[in-house]
Amino acid sequence: MPAEKDEAKEPRARPRLIIFMASFLVSHSTLFSVVCCIAGLIALLLLPILAKSTYISENALMPGSANPVFSGQDVSEASRLVKDITETQKMGKTTGIEIQRLIIQRMADVGAEVYYHKFQSQSNQFHPFRFFSCDSNSAVTESNSNTSNGLNTVGIIRAPRGDGKEAIVLVTPYNSEYVKLNDALSLGLGFSIFSHLSRVSWLAKDILWLAADSRYGEYSSVSAWLKDYHNPVFFSSENVDANVTHDKDFLNMENKNMLNGRNVDVFKRAGTMAAAMVFKVGEAMERDPRDILTIYAEASNGQMPNLDLINVVHYLAVHRQGFRVNIGKLASLVNSAWLNLVGQILEWLGNLAKNLNPKWNFGISSADYAEGAATVASSMYHQALGVPTGSHGAFRDYQVDAITFSFSSRFYLNNENMQSSFILRGGRLIEGVIRSVNNLLEKFHQSFFLYMMTAPNKFVSVGVYMIGFALLALPLPVVAASLFLNHKATGFTGTEEAKIAFGSWQWLYAAKTVLMIDLWALIASLMPYFISQIPNISPTESTLLWVALSVSILAVLYVILGSPYSHSAQIGALLIVPMCLVVRPLKKHMQGALILRALSLVCNLVMVVIGFPPAALLLMKGFSEGFEGVGIGAVWEVAEFLWVWNSATYLYVFLVHLPCWVLCIHILLHP
């Protein structure tokens, strides 16, 4: 050690501060890790207080600077379309494409370029992972007989004086098999905005309106369209012919693919997408004095749209159109007793600080705290799960900022007057957002991409929430260092270990264990793909098969590679903080006080049970939904779910968490 050398040379000289601090931390590693873990937890609990108010940081946006001109005339367009759709519905002609044909006719009437986009929805399958990107290679999907077809309708308004390099996308998902009033209203809203925009003179970006046929799910239709949008298929005669014949079968119409002298099967494009908005009309919600706008922003794997986009929508909705903005929160947490207790403590502390010094004004009421905590928890949950909260997630895979917002009226929308005032305000909001985004000169880049919301107008940026995580993770290297030093100190006194240490190849054994377990984890994580190939298998059977196979492979690997040396294996297993910090070999702790021993044992066992991902999942499900309905099959379903959505959580669980857990077991059983 350099410190020792220094002391040897100049016995009186004090060791350098950083070395002194490091050795102090290592020697008090237990205390240090306890303090850090508690501080980290407190930092996480304080997030709702540390949240800042949102602000629009891109100058070019200028939301609300122009008066909306969306008028009653546009609303009447919407009402007409809604009426037509409901009548078509009543006549029972919804065999296939009546609604689509209606929409495309209307779009063509306002002078837009229109086309049908036919797509095949992907069945739930384990497919190769795609992270943060689309796979251009799988653009040509094999035409399985069991895939189901959907038909999107797309209209493009070219900006009259724009350069055609950028576009804004509007998406209205609707179920084409049975169009409910909500869906009809959102189509009406979408169309009225579209027709309004075809008449305005200020467009600098093209407008794309995608009426997404979401009978097989909103996400799949939007992502299929986006994939085709971004992967142009260059001319190949076979494909075209095949498509045309297929279309004719599907659309059930001969020579009708021409509309106003234009082929409506040709895929047309506008420029790169500046932003996308998915909007729909939700169910009526009474109990609230104002109409509600719910914003969904989380895309796959914790990606978020730029905060400015949310800010613009929030600003226009609240300050111009008088909506109440909601964002997702874990409703069960709002009323939870202990969260309220924490809130009350913080409120009391805030008041105390205020009494001491009126300038210290950081307290918030306990109700606000509970709201904020529930919202941030939901934000964290959705980002960690890695599954998008709506079809806007498909856009984020192409680096397009997108959000979904759903309007809910405070009245039932059967009344025509209610409908029109509702559509008027919704239309003005969307027009305002489009005009604001239209002002953009560059991609969204000014505001945050990594943040969590604590309220519609409050956020925690990455710089703040990382503090808590850093504090939680900090003990790991310190404890590892202290373990390493302790081992070194004891290694030379022991006889058997000294021999191994002498050869200085001891790390190889540990490395071998870690490698072996990681290898096993990789195999275990890929196994579902092969299991899913077995036909007619229930989730429970799949799970059991999966577990059995995994365990047997682990055993085989153990036998092959032999029982490895494992004390410093903990260095590899840093990521699961409490589990790794508590775990001790069972036999080593047999000496010492009985209570301590028992405590340690209990802690270890509890951690081991909780740390096993399937067990943790089942426990969580049990607590939230009751233990009756929980079966082992749930594990399979969740794994499939995560895989289908390309969630990085799946990789984390199987490539990091599970090996760590196995290593901990390994340490527990260490002789």
Partner 1 sequence: MARPSQVAIDNFISFTGSTEVAAIQKLECPVLNSGSCDCTPRTSMVRPWILLLLLLLAISPPSHSSTVHNNNWAVLVCTSRFWFNYRHMANTLSLYRTVKRLGIPDERIILMLADDMACNARNSYPAQVFNNENHMLNLYGDNVEVDYRGYEVTVENFLRVLTGRHETAVPRSKRLLSDEGSHILVYMTGHGGDEFLKFQDNEELQSHDLADAVKQMKEKHRFKELLIMVDTCQAATLFSQLQSPGVLAIGSSKKGENSYSHHLDSDIGVSVVDRFTYYTLAFFEKLNMYSNASLSSLFNSYDSHLLMSTASYREDLYRRPLSEVPVTNFFGSVMKTFHTDFAYTGFSMEPEAHISLVSETDSRRTLGSENAQTEAANHNAKDNCPFHAWLKVLEDKLDNENAEKLVLYGLGSMVLLLAISTLLSV
CB of 317 to partner 1, least distance (A): 18
Q: Using the rule CB under 8 A, give the single segment among 154-162, 177-185, 276-284, 587-595 that binds partner 1.
A: 154-162
Q: How far apart are CA 122 and CA 220, in angstroms?
A: 7
> Is residue 162 at the binding interface for partner 1, with CB under 8 A as the rule?
yes
3-class secondary-structure state, position 178: coil
Per-residue binding string, partner 1, 427-466, x by CB under 8 A, is --------x--xx-x-------------------------
Q: Using the rule CB under 8 A, give the single segment among 56-64, 376-384, 450-458, 601-609 that binds partner 1.
A: 56-64
Q: How far is CA 658 from CA 384, 614, 663, in A?
A: 17, 10, 9
Integer-rounded Cα Rg, in Å, for the chain is 30
Closer to partner 1 at the Cβ: 87 or 163? 163
Closer to partner 1 at the Cβ: 201 or 355? 201
Closer to partner 1 at the Cβ: 200 or 544? 200
CB of 54 to partner 1, least distance (A): 20
> Is residue 203 at the binding interface for partner 1, with CB under 8 A as the rule?
yes
Q: How far apart are CA 45 and CA 26, in angstroms?
A: 27
> Is residue 160 at the binding interface for partner 1, with CB under 8 A as the rule?
yes
Candidate residues 3, 39, 50, 66; the one interacting with partner 1 per rule CB under 8 A: 66
Nearest Cα residue to 185 out of 173, 167, 199: 173
Nearest Cα residue to 107 out of 183, 196, 219: 196
Closer to partner 1 at the Cβ: 308 or 368? 308
Candidate residues 65, 148, 236, 624; the one interacting with partner 1 per rule CB under 8 A: 65
CB of 438 to partner 1, least distance (A): 6
Pair 204, 157: CB distance under 8 Å: no
CB of 163 to partner 1, least distance (A): 7
Pair 53, 310: CB distance under 8 Å: no
> Is residue 312 at the binding interface for partner 1, with CB under 8 A as the rule?
no
3-class secondary-structure state, position 274: strand
Q: How far apart are CA 273 and CA 179, in angstroms?
A: 28
Candidate residues 5, 9, 12, 161; the one interacting with partner 1 per rule CB under 8 A: 161
CB of 66 to partner 1, least distance (A): 3
Edge-first strand listing for the sheet containing 148-157 = 113-121, 148-157, 206-213, 166-174, 272-281, 401-408, 292-296, 324-327
> Is residue 327 at the binding interface for partner 1, with CB under 8 A as the rule?
no
* The two structure tokens encoding residue 531: 């299991």
As a dihedral over the C-alpha atoms of residue 305, residue 307, residue 309, residue 312, rounded to 10 degrees, the angle is: 160
CB of 29 to partner 1, least distance (A): 50
Closer to partner 1 at the Cβ: 253 or 441? 441
Q: How far apart are CA 29 and CA 26, in angstroms?
A: 5
Q: How far apart are CA 477 and CA 571, in angstroms?
A: 8
> Is residue 60 at the binding interface for partner 1, with CB under 8 A as the rule?
yes
The structure tokens 């084409």 sit at 176
Candidate residues 19, 39, 62, 544; the one interacting with partner 1 per rule CB under 8 A: 62
Closer to partner 1 at the Cβ: 59 or 536? 59
Q: How far apart are CA 268 and CA 173, in angstroms?
A: 20
> Is residue 204 at the binding interface for partner 1, with CB under 8 A as the rule?
yes
CB of 57 to partner 1, least distance (A): 13
CB of 205 to partner 1, least distance (A): 8
Candidate residues 27, 30, 67, 335; the one interacting with partner 1 per rule CB under 8 A: 67
SS (H, E, C) 422-462: HHHHHHHHHHHHHHHHHCCCCCCCCCCCCEEEEECCEEEEH
Q: Could you count the other beta carbons within 10 Å of the beta carbon of residue 310?
A: 26
CB of 212 to partner 1, least distance (A): 28
Residue ranges in contact with partner 1 by CB under 8 A: 59-60, 62, 65-67, 159-163, 200-204, 435, 438-439, 441
